[in-house]
Structure 1
Amino acid sequence: MAHRVDDLIDRRRLRRKLTFWRIAALAIAAVAIVAASAWIYGDDFGGTAVDHIAKVEIEGTITEDQDLLDLLEDVRKSASVKGVILSIDSPGGTTAGGEAIFDAVRLLAAEKPVVAQVGTLAASAGYMIASASDHIVARKSSIVGSIGVLVQFPDVTGLMDKVGIKLEEVKSSPLKAEPSPFSPTTEEERAMIRAMILDSYDWFVGIVAERRPLSRPEAQALADGSVFTGRQALERKLVDSLGGEQAATDWLTTKGVQPDLRVIEWEPDEDDSVFFLGSSLAEMAGRALGMPGYGAEFVREIGADRLFLDGLVSVWHP
């Protein structure tokens, strides 16, 4: 009987030891994972990151997106980032959104070499952002250009007449809230909008002339809204070389970046916001199509998010 009691005690002790070592092994594994993550990803885990090239994707319709601006600032502050690749695939968006990202990229480029690598498309505000980099690489068949600014507004007066709707309004001055889709546009209203467009257009052309090896007249000649293939853009000095990510990293090595550094994609913090669409109208449109929860994503995929841009826009409509 005594032997049985001793056996039970020994078994319990053994089980306690096994439990202890299992917990210890899990703890050691967790510490190892965190340490490895800190070594690879650095700032995201509060450790010292290995030196690397940061890749930032700029895709879709551009607005003044705070998540992207914060991301570019984080990249700028990271001591482990030795060079930056902006992977651009965008038809453009709001002119103010392009301006904000342009300024953020220029601030980043003042401290680290930045190269833009164009995928399918870098048009209008997308090209504006690419021009903020120190070097632009495009595919031979990429679409580049569409330098310009526009304002679009509908005229639904004919529909109102057919439906029998009449708009009544009282306003402080004739140009208040004009142009309006509910009344025909006057020459005075067109002149006001055109003055705004030409002022922003002049600023956009100035950016191209400043950032590219082009004189002001040369930049002006290319800023008629035309789009070009990557090969045509290279001939016109709108891009610097042809190729993909490897060509971008090769250029970074000419600026002192070590050729064996890894390219690590940086992404904004996950949240419920729409990355490049600052309006809830996209979600409303999705719900109207019977796709609640996926509406904003679907609207972006089909390019309809551009229907909801307000203000001056720099966007190419394929």
Structure 2
Amino acid sequence: MFSRRHPILFFILMFTGIVMSSFVVISLAVMVSLSPEDLEVGEGVGVVEITGVISDSQQVIDDLKYFREMDEVKAIVLRVNSPGGGVGASQEIYRALLKTRDIKPVVTSMGGVAASGGYYAAAATDGIVANSGTITGSIGVIMGYTNFRQILDKIGLEPVVFKSGEMKDAGSPTREMSEKEQAYLQQLVSSLHDQFVRDVAEARGMELDVVRKLADGRIYTGEEAVSLGLVDRMGNLEDALEWAAELGGLEDDPEAIYPPRPKTNMIDYLMDSAAVRISSIMPQPEVGASFIYKMGQ
């Protein structure tokens, strides 16, 4: 065996391998644990990210507040890679952005997709930059659920419901919907849609009728969105940073400053990554009707 014939060389190789492995683990742990609070930063542009389905607004609101109060940050870029999400969460982010842009300039950088609730948020900023192939628009509201009535009939299950009012279980997946309920839920969808259209028109300085014509749920490429007035410029994240820096009175090539995140150790990082991967491949249950500003599926 090699270890018997060349014991010294074998020992050197083993020692080198152990040292290199330890160095990689320590380096990764340091990278994971390091947060912007550990670094001294100069003046720059804060970057707030909206990634994935918008189900909760708290992190984005906290990040915006952090940069509003940070003197070194002269402007903010909202980086959006989202197909949209919950109505309430999208509206909360919209309001937080309106508040923020009254204090510091905010520019949106659209990634691959910034649609529906993602566009709702972007509309509240001072300017929007998109790639020519960005998928955006999808201004609209969708409500959907799966009706299990026929399955319940086949297996002999009969749901029993006690309710305080006629519309309390409107949209129930266990029975057919009445015409009155359909009209009621459609009215809710239309009301939420009107709010979406109104807020986009107000924040973007566009005519209400113009936005309404564009807001039939269809998606647009970034290039189309520019020609329609929904987006201001073509460009990527770097272009958005430069525009925001200009609005904030900074020099060219601005420093991008990201909000701090809680420190974590390597084991927590690996466990969290595994949990995210598992959740991404597991089927998501549908739990009844809900209203969402999300690109149609």
1:265 equivalent in alignment to 2:244: no
1:156 equivalent in alignment to 2:129: no
Specify the alignment match of 1:311 in structure 2: 290
TM norm structure 2:
0.79
- Partners of 2:241 and 2:61 in 1: CA distance: 23
Q: 1:115 to 1:226 in 2, by over 3 A?
A: same
- Residues 92-114 of structure 1: per-residue CA shift (max 9 Å, x gap): 00011100111111111111111
Q: 1:183 to 1:308 in 2, by over 3 A?
A: closer
Report runs of 4+ in structure 1 exceeding 3 Å deviation.
267-271, 291-299, 301-311
- Partners of 2:74 and 2:287 in 1: CA distance: 38
Give the CA deviation at 1:309: 8.9
- Partners of 2:184 and 2:58 in 1: CA distance: 30
Q: Which runs of 5+ in 2 are unaligned?
A: 1-33, 265-270
- Partners of 1:124 and 1:295 in 2: CA distance: 27
Deviates most, 216-225 or 170-179: 170-179
TM norm structure 1:
0.74
Specify the alignment match of 1:24 in structure 2: none
Q: Which runs of 5+ in 1 are unaligned?
A: 1-36, 272-290
- Residues 248-296 of structure 1: per-residue CA shift (max 9 Å, x gap): 123224312322431122254468xxxxxxxxxxxxxxxxxxx998455
Q: Percent identity?
A: 30
Q: Determine helix, strand or coil for the equivalent of 1:171.
A: coil
- Partners of 2:263 and 2:96 in 1: CA distance: 21
What are the residue-to-residue correspondences of 1:244-255 with 2, within 5 Å?
244-255=236-247
What are the residue-to-residue correspondences of 1:35-50 with 2, within 5 Å?
41=36, 44=37, 49-50=41-42
Specify the alignment match of 1:288 in structure 2: none
- Residues 174-228 of structure 1: per-residue CA shift (max 9 Å, x gap): 2112220011011111122112111111110011111224211110000000100
Q: What letter is aligned with 2:47?
A: K
- Partners of 1:309 and 1:263 in 2: CA distance: 41
Higher gyration radius (CA):
1
Q: 1:216 to 1:303 in 2, by over 3 A?
A: farther
Specify the alignment match of 1:179 in structure 2: 171
- Partners of 2:122 and 2:285 in 1: CA distance: 20
Give the CA deviation at 1:88: 0.4
- Partners of 2:43 and 2:107 in 1: CA distance: 17
